[in-house]
Chain A
Amino acid sequence: MEFNTRFFQEFADACSKQDGPQLARTLSPDIPTEELREICNSQNAHDIKRVLKRGLQGSAALVGGLGQQEVQGWVEIYTTYWNAARTILVARESSDDRRQSSQSDLVWTKVYAAWTELLNVLLRGYQNNGIEAWTLPCMYVVCKHLRLFAMEADEERNNSSSVDESAAPSLQDDFNPETNKRQKLEDCARVLSRVFTACQSDRAPLEESRKWGSYYLANLLLKTYFKLNSTSLSKNIMNSLFAGGKDMPDLSAFPKSQQVTFKYHQGVLAFLEENYVAAEQHLTDAWNNCHKDAVRNKERILTYLIPCRLIKDHMLPTEKLLAQYPRLQKLFLPICRCIKRGELHNFDLALQEGEDELVKRRIYLTLERGRDLALRNLLRKVFIARGFEEAKEGEKPARRSRVPVTEFAAAISLGSQERIDNDEVECLLANMIYKNHMKGYISRQHGIVVLSKSGAFPGTGV
């Protein structure tokens, strides 16, 4: 916002109402270019501090309760914001006419640097100038854009032909060309983690503590770590959040949006560690609290919740549920159908078909284990197709429970039309028994499988 009377009024207004989001809007870079230009042109580097100081002191006088230190903090913050705004303006203008000037400098790198400076000044404002915690949304907006600028800067650098040789010379024998690609985002993760710590370690009374910023920053950090493929770092955040004990307000006291995002991340982390019980719980929490219109978010949650349920409870999503999310439908429906129908070979094909996408989302390995269910359903069909023993008088007819291994073998090779060695079939059957998908035993001597008379396939009604 242009630094004029209106701005100073707005500032005073937000302060008197302690309206964080309103105040945060004055620090947002996400405004039309025209407005940005006005901000930049409204002042010059020489005068800006003086103007801001006078103006903000005026605002402070209006509100009352705003200390000299605090005002000084805000003067610094808005000065740095103005500097950053100028770099953003340059960046936006140069992106517009990039085609003409092939040799553009790394403008977004400059934006990132300027914006990091803003975050630092802001952080100092909190730590040294006693800026109060109700203004945390300002921190949010600055952190959020820091991450976006970092990604912008990385992309720009990777696209530019000039090779960045600025990497510090090291005597160690470690290097990784990949890290250079994500240089700024990694730096961003470090900066954010510092801000996170600054929130976490605030010992002010809970009502006015920066601890309330913890989950917003945790979420932002987790998001960054996921992007950087370094989920292992997430553990530090989790530990730090849960180590707080009583000092830390319960998650349920935080805004719902933050709860949902956090639960989602927590769930995915558990999922990646194959802790499906915890994963299901967290993801279900996220699902239940998710805003009904946040389709994209619900889709994200389901991406992991569905495989979780499949492995843990042998539950498949209904076609009705999948129909609401075309992307998920494409991903899961073919596989789920094959499992349901016990089409082993088609299951393999469907999995292969979706492999790239599934692997990318880290759900391939989990879904692959759905093959056991497809196999179970196939074997169950064999069992049912064999029908009943001749019923003795007065008794309910029992199913024929002695099945030759060759019959199962025939069923398994039916789909692929490839002969499969009996020993391998036995191996698969032994696995079914071991995993409790099937009750009974193999008699190698006779080449038959003796299935339990009561519930040969637990949980399937047979």
Chain B
Amino acid sequence: MMPTWPAAPPSGAQPSNGYTASYSAPAYTTVQVRQSFGQSYSTPQPSYPVAHTYGASHSPSPSAANIAPTVNSSPPAAQEQAKTTKIDWPDSVRRYVQRAFIPANLDASVTRADMEAKLKETITQANENSVMYTLNWDTMPLPQQMILDERARDSLPIHSKAQAPTPGTKKRKSWDLTDTAAPSSTSASPPWRTGPNRLEDRVTFSPDKRHVGDDLPKHNSKFNRADKRQRRNEGEYVTFREDTPPPADGPVVGTSQELEKRYLRLTAAPKPSQVRPPHILRQTLELLKKRWKKDQNYSYICDQFKSMRQDLTVQRVRDDFTVEVYEIHARIALEKGDLGEYNQCQTQLKGLYKLGLNGKPNEFTAYRILYFIHTANRADLSNALVDLTAAEKKDKAVKHALDVRSALALGNYHRFFQLYNETPNMGAYLMDMFVGRERLAALCTICKGYKQDVPLRFITEELYFESDVEAAQFILDHNGQDLLEDRNGTVIVLTGKAGQRFEQARSKAFSRVDIKGQI
């Protein structure tokens, strides 16, 4: 890639006011029943390779990515390039960059890399805030100056929150320190050596012991912090900067302004600087909706939604917006058949709805019922039915799901396939998962119930195949080659000859479905 100054901000990094504009198109598309097996759903498909968009999303922000190479090269070269490509980059900015690299202005304690990073950050920010042209770049503090200021701030113990971006190693380090210091802070001997008669205690965990066990980490960290503080006073930890305060004091309040963030499973307390507050998350959601519509890149979307959910969780935000995030993620996961994520969302939603938040509880109750049908989990289905209120039972989606259940319980495939055709919302994605096995079951019943033969057309209609060809294919796929016969131009199915041949496939299809994370 030829490093260039961007002519205009790339679409991915529009000024933030672009996001706040109320873009409320849903991030999902209601789907009709899958019409055939050969073709894909009617939802828009990615128009270009998935890898492309996913790759781009790795970089923190496209505009920053574009600036980075330029800044990294020496300033004259940058200027040359800027000239040759004739980009409309304000002169004031160029002067600013030049000024920063004049030897007289350089500071020995600031490395070149740090400076470039700062420069990049400053310009990107200006670009994003659309103040590129209005800012007075001539009076702007130089990057090295900013860095020095920041360091001065950081050295004050109270303002230690904002940290230099070396999160991984630092976090790791502080964690390790806690770990290694732990044994010295607890009792000198291991718990099982403290009494003559403690073996049984250990086996059955007497409650007081466990209590102590629960408290341990807290004591430890307290002890360690005091310990560290003491050692720092002795001069041992002069360069060590205190970590963020422990999260137990209350939820984190995020300060991050980034819209996008990769998901990373937390192994330590979250840092406010890396957590996005709700108003940013709202913008993120709009961005993601747009992205989903445009790219349909599931791995990217899923990752982003997970990080969003994480930010909401660590800040303990449980409001209508939270519901919306989980609902949208659940729908997208459902559409892509990612049942693991779908289940996680459903579990959360169940709890959130119980808090009385606004959302689409009925839609998701219906999904839940359909899902239990899919997993053939009678006990859970029973429990789900207990929870239903009269009002819920009247809801269109819930009623549909209940009717599906009842039709299947009674073996009424005729009714079942009618309902399949009328599935509201996105329930069809769930029904797709078990429609195959129900077709097998129905075929078994038909083969035993009807003697001699039935027209293929009848099978097509009863089992809601898209075409005779598809129906025939289904029979062929299940070992029914010799059951099809052409008689005077109409294809017939010799049900009388079928015997037990679909039974095995049927019982195999009905063996228990078990998916991790299911509720």
Seen from chain A, the residues whose Cβ lies within 8 Å of a Cβ on chain B are 116, 120, 123-124, 127-128, 169, 171-178, 191, 194, 197-198, 201, 229, 231-232, 272-274, 359-360, 362, 364-365, 368-369, 371-372, 421, 423-424, 426-431, 433-435, 441-445, 450
Please state if A431 and B411 are interface contacts (CB–CB under 8 Å).
yes
Q: A171-B270, A191-B207 are in contact. Are A427 and B412 (CB under 8 A)?
A: yes
A426 and B415 alpha carbons, distance in the complex (Å): 12
Of the listed stretches B43-51, B69-77, B96-104, B309-317, name the one at the interface; the rest are far from the partner chain: B309-317
- Which B residue sits closest to A371, measured CB to CB? B410
Residues of B within 8 A of A169 (CB): 247-248, 250-251, 316
Q: Is the CB of A434 within 8 A of B414?
A: no
Bound CA–CA A124/B386 (angstroms) = 41
Residues of A within 8 A of B310 (CB): 173
Closest to A369 in B: B409
Contact B208 A431 (CB under 8 A): no
Among B197, B344, B406, B451, the most chain A Cβ lie within 10 Å of the Cβ of B451
B446 touches A176 (CB 8 A): no
Identify which of B31-39, B60-68, B146-154, B376-384 touches chain A: B376-384
Is B448 engaged at the interface, CB distance under 8 Å to the other chain?
Answer: yes
Q: List 12 A-B contacts (CB under 8 A).
A: A169-B247, A169-B250, A171-B313, A173-B309, A173-B348, A174-B347, A201-B203, A272-B378, A365-B381, A431-B412, A433-B445, A435-B411
- Among A191, A198, A434, the residue within 8 A (CB) of B449 is A434
Residue numbers in B under 8 Å from A364 (CB-CB)? 382, 385
- B93 within 8 Å of A by Cβ? no
B462 at the A interface (CB under 8 A): yes
Shortest CB distance B36–A (Å): 22
* Bound complex: CA A424 to CA B442 (Å): 12
Question: Is B7 positioned at the interface, with any CB of A under 8 Å from its CB?
Answer: no
Chain B residues, CB < 8 A from A371: 410
Given A171-B247, A434-B449, 6 more A-B residue pairs with CB atoms under 8 Å apart are A120-B207, A169-B247, A171-B266, A194-B204, A433-B449, A444-B454
A388–B344 Cα gap in the complex (Å)? 62
Interface residues of B in 393-432 (CB under 8 A from A): 406, 409-415
Q: How far is the CB of B425 from chain A (nearest CB, A)?
A: 24
State whether B414 touches A433 (Cβ < 8 A): no
User: Interface digits, B488-514 against A, CB 8 Å rule (1 contact, 0 not)?
Assistant: 000000001000000000000000000
How far is it, in angstroms, between the C-alpha of A368 and the C-alpha of B412 when the chains are bound? 13
Tally of contact residues, B, Cβ under 8 A: 58
Q: Are B410 and A368 in contact (CB under 8 A)?
A: yes
A128:B200 contact, CB within 8 angstroms: yes
Nearest-Cβ distance from residue A443 to partner chain B, whole angstroms: 6
Interface of chain A: mostly helix, strand, loop or mixed? helix
Contact of A171 among B314, B415, B453 (CB under 8 A): B314
Partner of A431, one of B351, B410, B461, B462: B410
Residues in B neighbouring A173, C-beta threshold 8 A = 309-310, 313, 344, 348
Which A-B residue pairs are the 4 nearest by beta carbons?
A430-B449, A441-B451, A427-B414, A173-B313
What's the Cα separation between A365 and B402 when bound, in Å?
12
Residue contact B351 to A176, C-beta cutoff 8 Å: yes
A431–B445 CB distance below 8 A: yes
> Contact between A434 and B462 (Cβ–Cβ < 8 Å)?
no
Scoring B310, B348, B411 by chain A CB atoms within 10 A of each residue's CB, the highest score goes to B411
Please indicate the chain A residues that have their CB under 8 angstroms from the CB of B200 in the complex. 127-128
CB nearest neighbor in B for A427: B414
Q: Which residue of A lies closest to B353 (CB)?
A: A177
* B interface residues with partner A (beta carbon < 8 Å): 197, 200-201, 203-208, 247-248, 250-251, 266, 269-270, 309-310, 313-314, 316, 344, 347-348, 350-351, 354-355, 378-379, 381-383, 385-386, 406, 409-415, 444-446, 448-455, 458, 461-462, 496
- CB A55 to nearest CB in B, in angstroms, measures 26
- The smallest beta-carbon distance between B379 and chain A, in angstroms, is 5
The docked-state distance in angstroms from the alpha carbon of A369 to that of B410 is 7
What's the minimum C-beta distance from A30 to chain B, rounded to whole angstroms?
Answer: 24
Partner among B204, B406, B496 whose Cβ is within 8 Å of the Cβ of A197: B204
Q: Give B390's nearest chain A residue, CB to CB.
A: A356
User: Chain B's nearest CB lies how many Å from the CB of A444?
Assistant: 5
Query: Complex formed: what's the CA distance from A175 to B355 in Å?
Result: 11
A452 to B355, CA, bound (A): 59
In the complex, the chain A residue whose C-beta lies closest to that of B203 is A201
Contact between chains at B462 and A423 (CB < 8 Å):
yes
Contact of A272 among B382, B453, B455 (CB under 8 A): B382
Known pairs A169-B251, A177-B354, A360-B386; A231 contacts B449 (CB<8 A): no
Contact A450 B386 (CB under 8 A): no
Residues of A contacting B348 in the complex (Cβ-Cβ under 8 angstroms)? 173-175
Q: Is the CB of B452 within 8 A of A443?
A: yes
Closest beta carbon of chain B to A149's beta carbon, Å: 16
A423 to chain B minimum Cβ distance, whole angstroms, is 6
Complex: A329 Cα to B381 Cα, angstroms: 26
A430 touches B445 (CB 8 A): yes
Rounded to whole Å, the gap between the CB of B455 and the closest CB of chain A is 8
User: Which one of B197, B348, B414, B453 has the greatest number of beta carbons of chain A within 10 Å?
Assistant: B414
Least Cβ–Cβ distance between B202 and chain A, in angstroms:
11
Chain A hits for B313, CB < 8 A: 171-173
Complex: how many Å from CA A120 to CA B210? 12
Q: Which of B206, B351, B462 contacts A175 (CB 8 A)?
A: B351
When distances are taken between beta carbons in the complex, the residues of chain A under 8 Å from B453 are 444-445
B379:A430 contact, CB within 8 angstroms: no
Report whether A427 and B462 are in contact in the complex, using a CB–CB cutoff of 8 Å.
yes
B204 near A427 with CB under 8 A, answer no
A430 engages B351 (CB within 8 Å) = no
Chain A residues with Cβ under 8 A from B247's Cβ?
169, 171
Residues of A within 8 A of B413 (CB): 427
Expressed in whole angstroms, the Cα–Cα distance for A444 and B314 within the complex equals 63
List, in ascending order, chain A residues with CB within 8 A of B444's CB.
Answer: 434
Report B315 CB to chain A, min CB distance, Å: 11
Q: Are B409 and A368 in contact (CB under 8 A)?
A: yes
Check if A421 sits within 8 Å of B449, measured CB to CB.
Answer: no
How far, in Å, is B516 (CB) from chain A's closest CB? 14
Nearest CB in chain A: distance from B353 CB, A: 10
Please state if B409 and A365 are interface contacts (CB–CB under 8 Å): yes
Chain A residue nearest in CB terms to B446: A430
In the bound complex, CA of A85 to CA of B347 (Å): 41
| Closest A residue to B458 using CB positions | A444
Question: Known contacts A116-B207, A359-B382: does B412 contact A424 (CB below 8 Å)?
Answer: yes
A362 to B387, CA, bound (A): 12
Closest to A272 in B: B379
Instruction: With both chains docked as a complex, state the minimum distance between the C-beta of A36 and any C-beta of chain B, in angstroms.
Output: 25
B contact residues around A359 at 8 Å (CB): 382, 385-386
Question: Which residue of B has the minimal Cβ distance to A423?
Answer: B414
Chain A residues lying within 8 Å of B206, measured Cβ to Cβ, are 120, 123-124
Q: A194-B204, A442-B449, A444-B458 are in contact. Are A274 and B351 (CB under 8 A)?
A: no
Judge whether A177 and B351 touch: CB under 8 Å: yes
CB < 8 Å neighbour of A229 from B251, B383, B385: B383
